[in-house]
Amino acid sequence: MIDPFGRSISYLRVSVTDRCDFRCIYCMSEHMTFLPKNEVLSLEELDRLCTAFIHKGVRKLRLTGGEPLVRRDVMTLFNSIGRHIKTGALEELTLTTNGSQLARHADALFNAGVRRINVSVDTLDAAKFEKITRWGKLPQVLDGIRAAKEAGLKVKINTVALNHINNDEFDHLIEWCGSEGFDLTFIETMPMGDIDGDRTQDYLPLSQVRAQLAQKWTMKDSDHRTGGPARYVTVEETGGRVGFITPLTHNFCESCNRVRLTCTGTLFMCLGQNDAADLRAPLRAHPNDDAPLLAAIDEAIGRKPKGHDFIIDRRHSGPAVPRHMSVTGG
């Protein structure tokens, strides 16, 4: 699949549910309204959609959410998509998770063909963890991460950089990830969906974080890439890798290779734009014929925009797009 700007689209992210057992302050409000269950695609329908994308050339597929591991029977989906890993049609199947349910799923994920996972940890301080996630418990997540490591999964930690909240903990996170052998990626807060507060005060440009880290750590630019937008450095003191995802300070759209599918079958061609394609209609209207679905995918890729227009500053404190990250899938 080649978009109008010549970019080859080979990476699909799928939000398998918009629901979550946490309520991270930068992601959701405490009293989120979730999609009615009857609007959500079945696991079989999600598998059919993913398979269609793999036939169209998708080589990397990430299941995310919401919290993917809270969706009932989600391992059925991992196992069925995993068949494409076994045939070689799919290069990589990955997961982004908050880690709360990881301990009981780690072995099954490995057996399904998953080799790398991203786990979100914004702080290693248990009290602060509860403050940021509202409903999360750090020990449970750390148990999950341990289980993942033991199961043979390569773990990358995602940390959203939050001014005045976790900016005093970056060194600790770098040390911990270095000693555990985990890559670490810092992410800027993106203006997606209403939350209870205002993101402006929490927004911390990663250019600032990098300058802060450079005072303590020797960071060498690395050409390591994972298919995502992170740009990496190697930290000489720990030997670990640290990535920076900077949608706001440095826009990475020119090399974008991905599209995002929601659990209702809506395809977003850009995380930061509202244009979308409804794939549920052709999927359901033609249960035994993929041709209309494949045509709808082609038509959507033909509309992939050049880039996003995220801005966070005092004049633009509201969301740039109305939907939450948990809907489109981070």
DSSP H helices, the chain, are 43-55, 74-87, 102-112, 126-133, 138-151, 170-180, 206-214, 280-285, 291-301, 325-328
- Quick check: 145 binds ligand SAM (CB under 6 A)? no
Q: Segment contacting ligand SF4 (CB under 6 A): 18-26, 33-41, 49-57, 271-279? A: 18-26
Nearest-angstrom CA–CA distance, 60 and 246: 21
- Quick check: 18 binds ligand SAM (CB under 6 A)? no
Nearest-angstrom CA–CA distance, 133 and 125: 12
Binding-site member from 7, 13, 23, 231 for ligand SF4 (CB under 6 A): 23
- Quick check: 27 binds ligand SF4 (CB under 6 A)? yes
Nearest-angstrom CA–CA distance, 55 and 72: 26
Nearest-angstrom CA–CA distance, 94 and 16: 13
Nearest-angstrom CA–CA distance, 319 and 198: 9
Site residues (CB under 6 A) for ligand SF4, limited to 80-99? 98
Place of tokens 């270095």: 178
190: partner contacted, choices ligand SF4, ligand SAM, none (Cβ within 5-8 A by kind): ligand SAM
Binding-site member from 166, 189, 262, 266 for ligand SAM (CB under 6 A): 189
- Quick check: 265 binds ligand SF4 (CB under 6 A)? no
Beta-carbon contacts of 113 under 8 Å, excluding residues fewer than 6 positions away, are: 78, 82, 85, 86, 93
- Amino acid symbol at 95: L
23: partner contacted, choices ligand SF4, ligand SAM, none (Cβ within 5-8 A by kind): ligand SF4
114: partner contacted, choices ligand SAM, ligand SF4, none (Cβ within 5-8 A by kind): none
Binding-site member from 14, 50, 65, 118 for ligand SF4 (CB under 6 A): 65
Residues that bind ligand SF4 (CB under 6 A): 20, 22-24, 27-28, 65-67, 98, 120, 326
Residues that bind ligand SAM (CB under 6 A): 20, 26-27, 64-65, 67, 96-98, 120, 158, 160, 187, 189-190, 192, 325-326, 330
